[in-house]
């Protein structure tokens, strides 16, 4: 392995040769053209994927395998739906992950799915497969709070686009999963390190009930890991798919920015932070992310930012031809030894596969992106949070959010404009640095799941888990897959597999290979 890390912005050999490298015919430079991308798109791909899952217990099987079993009548949708309901009723008392259920409706839909199959009518690749959904998404006929008191009795009038697409392809909704108020991880209750809000309370980690789930899709991560759902859909504004995927030991994907519509989410499309937010699937196996993401993607006529990009096939990626950068620590967050060792092991596995592996990271850019992001998000004195509260009738906000509103200080319009310009300049710098590589391996968060109770007054900062590892890839909008990478630990440690814009195929292919080496998701003791 090579080492190209530059500490405190100092130059290194790879940077001194930057212009030459930009002209070199690397794998990244050769394969990221629109023409080549289109050639490997979904048009040559069947949505009915073949499962590689060897799991033999029904509720823990991959969605891909379950969908095959339903279509071939090896299991009925009713049988599977009831199995998940039974599992939720067994574990949810301990986890507090599913906060609103629609079991009766789910069973009726399962019966209809089985009846349709007898007539050889298949709605899609998810025919009869149960799912859960993050409570920040609207679901028709189901209470959808977004964790805020103003919507404590709000019944969804229309499915969010991503849910509508899952149901159109045959999925069955079991219920909603817990999220902090307005999906602000750490924003539900001060002093705790888990998903929680003042309506439903705190969610817990299935591997250790004294530990948190991370957030903001923490209920999703917890119940999928515990085998109470085939899959869930989260959202990622600053790591909210990736962090709970890592902490709960499952697979999750933050797609490229503006690939999937945000319509029907409580933090909707548009605004200054529009490009940071992206829905993404969460499941036990990487193969399920390959199945689910294309079904979620593409314009819906509402979210104006979404573009109709083709879906590249991960099966076409040759791992041994990839150029890999990795960093076990970003030198910003205090990163645990087991986390660093997991990343080093992942890099070694890639090297064993034949990939060209180099330890490298753009520390100076990471530092600047973090500073810009922190100043931008509070630059209007959290006025965007007040607008969200007003919009949803939230006269009583959680203590953490109210504290931000009470103590926020706005910056000048000139400074705000300058920050947006600096953010875009650093996006360009990130792209330039990344031209040398096809994929980045790095921590998702600096430690495994933390203890839930951190004490009142304990706040999230750049040195805390997740903030400095996930945020840069929301700012850039690059696709990132998280997969469990540890092999010996009790608490899961996830690896981020970061790829170029629109190259989910590279990210997913690498994640699936790492999953084959680490074993990926493992059943919790609960």
Enzyme catalytic residues: 134, 216, 240
**Do 188 and 198 meet the contact criterion of CB atoms below 8 Å apart?**
yes
What are the backbone angles phi and psi of residue 83, rounded to the nearest 5°? -65, -40
Task: Reduce the secondary structure of 311-322 to three states and give it as a string.
Answer: CCCHHHCCHHHC
Q: What is the token pair recorded at 419?
A: 């920050």
Longest Cα separation, the chain: 67
Cα dihedral angle (472, 463, 272, 186), rounded to 10 degrees? 120
H/E stretch holding 434: helix 413-434
Continuous H helices in 254-396: 286-296, 337-352, 363-377, 383-391
If you write DSSP's letter for every residue of 171-235 in order, what string do you get?
Answer: -EEEEEE---GGG-TT-SSTTB-B-EETTTEE--BTTBTTB--BSSSHHHHHHHHTTS-SEEEEE
E strand map for 392-478: 439-443
- CA–CA separation, 87 and 90 (whole Å): 5
Burial class (CB in 10 A: 0-12, 13-18, 19+), 520: buried
**Do 146 and 135 meet the contact criterion of CB atoms below 8 Å apart?**
yes
Q: Angle at the Cα of 18 (from 13 to 19), degrees rounded to 5?
A: 140
HSE on the CB side for 173, CA within 13 Å?
28
What are the backbone angles phi and psi of residue 452, rounded to the nearest 5°? -65, -50
**Do 392 and 146 meet the contact criterion of CB atoms below 8 Å apart?**
yes
């Amino acid at each position: 392995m090579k080492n190209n890390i530059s500490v405190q912005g100092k130059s290194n050999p790879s940077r001194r040769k930057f212009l030459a490298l930009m002209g070199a015919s690397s794998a990244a430079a050769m394969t990221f053209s629109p023409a080549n991308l289109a050639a490997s798109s979904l048009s040559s791909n069947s949505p009915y994927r073949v499962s590689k899952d060897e799991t033999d217990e029904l509720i823990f099987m991959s969605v891909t395998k379950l969908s095959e079993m339903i279509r071939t009548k090896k299991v009925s949708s009713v049988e599977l739906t009831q199995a998940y309901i039974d599992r939720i009723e067994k574990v949810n008392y301990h986890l507090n992950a599913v906060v609103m259920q629609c079991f009766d409706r789910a069973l009726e839909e399962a019966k209809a799915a089985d009846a349709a199959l007898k007539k050889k009518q298949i709605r899609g690749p998810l025919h009869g497969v149960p799912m859960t959904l993050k409570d920040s998404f609207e679901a028709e006929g189901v209470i959808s709070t977004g964790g805020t008191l103003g919507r404590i009795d709000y019944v969804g009038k229309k499915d969010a686009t991503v849910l509508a697409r899952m149901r159109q392809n045959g999925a069955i909704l079991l219920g909603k999963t817990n999220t902090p108020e307005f999906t602000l991880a750490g924003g539900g209750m001060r002093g705790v390190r888990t998903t929680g809000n003042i309506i439903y309370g705190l969610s817990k980690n299935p591997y250790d009930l004294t530990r948190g789930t991370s957030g903001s899709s923490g209920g999703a991560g917890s119940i999928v890991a515990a085998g109470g759902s085939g899959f869930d859909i989260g959202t990622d504004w600053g790591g909210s798919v990736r962090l709970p995927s890592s902490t709960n030991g499952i697979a999750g994907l933050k797609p490229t920015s503006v690939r999937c519509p945000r319509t029907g989410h409580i933090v909707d499309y548009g605004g200054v932070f529009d490009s940071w937010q992206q829905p993404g699937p969460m499941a036990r196996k990487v193969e399920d992310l390959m199945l689910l993401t294309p079904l979620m993607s593409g314009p819906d006529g509402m979210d104006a930012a979404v573009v109709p990009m083709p879906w590249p096939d991960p099966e076409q990626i040759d791992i041994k031809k990839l150029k890999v950068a990795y960093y076990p620590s970003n030198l910003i967050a205090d990163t645990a030894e087991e986390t660093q060792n997991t990343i080093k092991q992942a890099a070694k596995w890639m090297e064993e596969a034949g990939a060209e592996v180099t330890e490298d990271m753009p520390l100076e850019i990471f530092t600047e992106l973090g500073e810009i992001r922190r100043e931008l998000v509070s630059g209007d004195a959290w006025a965007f949070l007040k607008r969200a509260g007003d919009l949803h009738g939230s006269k009583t906000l959680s203590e953490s959010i109210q504290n931000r509103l009470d103590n926020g200080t706005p910056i000048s319009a000139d400074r705000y404009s300058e920050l947006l310009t600096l953010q875009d300049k650093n996006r360009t710098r990130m792209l330039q640095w990344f031209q040398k590589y096809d994929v980045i391996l790095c921590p998702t968060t600096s430690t495994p799941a933390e203890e839930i109770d951190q004490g009142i007054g304990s706040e999230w900062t750049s040195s805390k888990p997740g903030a400095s590892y996930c945020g840069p890839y929301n700012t850039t909008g690059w696709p990132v897959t998280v997969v469990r990478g540890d092999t010996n630990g009790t608490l899961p440690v996830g690896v981020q597999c970061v790829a170029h814009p629109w190259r989910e195929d590279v990210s997913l292919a690498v994640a699936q290979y790492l999953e084959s080496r680490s074993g990926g998701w493992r059943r919790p003791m609960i």
